[in-house]
Amino acid sequence: MKSILPITTVSMVIVILWYGFSVILNSTWTKDQASRAGVEVTFSEILKDTMVQQRPLLPAPHQVVIELWETTANKKITSKRSLVYHGWITLSATLLGFVIGTGLGILLAIGIVHNKAMDYGVMPWIIASQTVPILALAPMIIVVLYSIGLSGLVPKAIISAYLSFFPVSVGMVAGFRCPDPTQMDLLKTYAAKKSQLFWKLMVPISMPYLFTSLKIGVAASLVGAIVGELPTGAVAGLGARLLAGSYYGQTVQIWSALIGSAILAATLVGLIGLIQKFTLDRMGLAR
Amino acid sequence: MIAIVLILLFWFCTWGLNIYLSSLPPSQAIRVAIPTVFGLSFLVIWECTVRIFNVPGVILPPPSDIGVTFVNSLDILWIDLVQTVFKGALSGYLIGCGSAMIMAIAVNRYPFLQKGILPIGNFVAALPIVGTAPIFVMWFGFGWQSKAAVVVAMVFFPMLVNMVQGLASTDVMQRDILKTYNATYWQEIWKLKLPAAMPFAFNGLKICTTLSLIGAIVAEFFGSPILGMGFRISTEVGRLALDVVWAEIVVAAIAGTLFFWIVSLGEQKVTFWHPTHRK
């Protein structure tokens, strides 16, 4: 609770800076219009004009908030102008990809922990796969999957899954290796089987790692879903809103899509945080 | 049918070889050999599968075709590499990480700022910053400057968060001993806090290598002069020339790995005192 004041202060500073920059950036247009019309503009007029432009270089925060409100609360959810509609399309791809990626990541981690050949042989390639800017593959994955008859949700989900499996598998490998030798020895003196060792020691002890990597993974899969929407030619989804906005110079639309995706990311990470708190409290692992 | 059996047989043989290798007493050679065997067998299976089942090149070209295209279009790949990696990603990486480090020192001075910036930084680091690409392309034009700006926006907060944590990682005893030596503020920064922050800083720098390449390539999807890796990928996908796309991806992979390798080499030189690097 002590950090509320600093956080609000910093957020306030960001909003003030945002207003400042939007005045500076948008005043060029105002001055240009005024000089074409042959009139002098005072500073207060510039200030007034920069706040209400149709296509500002940098929309003022309240313009974005109004656009967000207009496109979420004042439109039918089924309407193609509704941000909720586009947000849902992105969210469904994100969630499907996140589930696939997390499942795959955990399975890989189990394999790596239990099999030495997999540890030595696959782990370096998993790490190398992340130095490949994987988002660059997005257009190709979309096109290739389309040519074998898959379109819509699944290709985006595959890109999301690719982005989210890495943090989960690396985090879980660290988590599964967490038990120290005395704990392993104790279970061995109880004559625990391999499966018992796994379920009763390795799984519980890796829970904090699981939630930390899930948070990173869900943020990554949202990025994957948004980028996956770009090459499809701006049909639907938050990524499509970004692309359409950039084609038609609708800056307010770009910013509202951006803030919308930020809210989505924050909600997803926050939800996992809540589940984390509840689970760890129940398991007695809370720090 | 026989082909599938042969491919599976080959896979089990190489996998068996890897299991055998990993049961040998571990050495440096074996640690290199196992992933190499795995990678090579993967390539062979890819090649054979594509050839035997006549998978069309627009879906998945065989690795040998990609290799041929790679060698034949080295000149194009090189100018794309210069445009995207050296001009876009690298300049953005240097500006972004550099300013984040300086900012972190300022933040570290005031605990109030530190409390406010860390949660916000963590929040921003989780946001889809790639989405700012169209905005920056609009502000800074189609050239490499807009790509560098996207990269700056992407790397700034992960770097800042790591650096702030690093600067805060000194303990009371260490700070006390510098006080008893009557050290000035800047001496404390140079001789204690910056060295102590280096493991964290390099963690951030390593994360940012991949982020910078992603940022530069994705920003080119939103508009670019007629060169650049992202531009080439999106246009060649449109022409269904997937061998060129794969060649670009190979370049991206090599560039990304080299970049990461150089940064980790720097890490080993700078943080030689850290437990993970002690011999």
Q: Which CATH number characterizes residue A121's domain?
A: 1.10.3720.10
**Using CB atoms within 10 A of its CB, is residue A22 exposed (0-12), middle (13-18) or buried (19+)?**
buried
Closest CA of chain B from A110, distance in Å: 17
Nearest C-alpha of chain B: how many angstroms from A205? 23
Domain termination site, one of A41, A58, A75: A58
Per-residue pLDDT at B21: 80
Alpha-carbon distance B135 to nearest alpha carbon in chain A (angstroms): 7
For residues A187 and A257, membership in a common domain is answered with yes
CA distance from start to end of chain B: 52
- pLDDT of A233 reads 57
Token digits for A240? 């499509």
User: Is A70 part of any domain?
Assistant: no
Residues A10 and A129 placed together within one structural domain of the fold: no
- Range B246-251 contact pairs with CB under 8 angstroms and sequence separation of 24 or more: B246/A140, B246/B61, B246/B66, B246/B69, B247/B66, B247/B69, B247/B70, B247/B73, B247/B77, B248/A136, B248/B77, B248/B80, B249/A132, B249/A136, B249/A137, B249/A140, B250/B66, B250/B70, B251/B70, B251/B77, B251/B80, B251/B81
| pLDDT tens string B25-61 | 777 788 788 888 888 888 888 888 888 888 887 778 8
Residues of chain A with pLDDT under 50: none
Q: Which residue of A has its CA nearest to B236?
A: A140
Rounded distance, CA B101 to CA B246, Å?
Answer: 36
ipTM of the complex: 0.73
Query: Is A175 among the domain residues?
Result: yes
| Nearest CB partner across the interface for A121, out of B35, B213, B234 | B35
- Predicted pLDDT at A131: 67
pLDDT in tens, A129-154: 776 766 667 777 777 777 777 777 88
CB contact under 8 A, A120 and B31: yes
The confidence score (pLDDT) of residue A2 equals 66
Residue in A257, A241, A255, A259 with CA at minimum distance from that of residue A25: A255
A148 and A45 fall within a common domain? no
Domain assignment of residue A22, yes or no: yes
Domain count, chain A: 2
For residue B158, pLDDT beyond 90: no
Residue A65 forms part of a structural domain: no
Are both A253 and A150 inside the same structural domain?
yes
Residue A152 lies in a domain: yes
Q: Same domain, yes or no, for A138 and A105?
A: yes
Which structure tokens are listed for A190?
Answer: 């109880």
Average pLDDT, chain B: 85
Confidence category of residue B278, pLDDT binned at 50, 70, 90: low
pLDDT at B124 over 60: yes
Nearest CA in chain B to A263: B127
A15 in a structural domain: yes
Residue B82: pLDDT band (50, 70, 90) is: confident
Q: Please give the interface size between A and B, counted as residue pairs whose CB atoms are below 8 Å apart.
A: 167
pLDDT in tens, B84-120: 888 889 999 999 999 999 999 988 888 888 888 877 8
CATH number for region B70-270? 1.10.3720.10
Examine the domain organization and report whether A145 and A11 are in the same domain. Answer: no
**Is residue A141, in this structure, part of any structural domain at all?**
yes
Residue among A136, A147, A257 minimizing CB distance to B252: A136
A38 shares its domain with A124: no
Q: Please tell me the predicted confidence (pLDDT) of residue A133.
A: 65
Rounded Cα distance, A68 and A61, in Å: 11
Q: Which residues from chain A sit within 8 angstroms of residue B123, using beta carbons?
A: 266
Residue type, A95: L
Asked if B23's CB is within 8 angstroms of A10's CB, the reply is no
pLDDT computed for residue A37 by the predictor: 79
Average pLDDT over residues B6-18: 83
- Annotate A248-270 with b (16+ C-beta within 10 A) or e (fewer): eebbbbbbbbbbbbbebbeebbe
Is A140 in the same domain as A279?
yes
Residues A160 and A265 in one domain: yes
CB atoms within 10 A of CB B149: 24
Question: How many degrees, rounded to 5, is the angle at CA B210 between CA B208 and CA B216?
Answer: 95
Expressed as residue numbers, the domain containing A165 is 83-283
> Is position A165 within any domain?
yes
For chain B, the domains span: 2-54, 70-270
pLDDT in tens, B201-231: 998 898 888 888 888 888 888 777 888 888 8
Query: Which of B209, B222, B234 is facing A246, going by the closest CB pair?
Result: B222
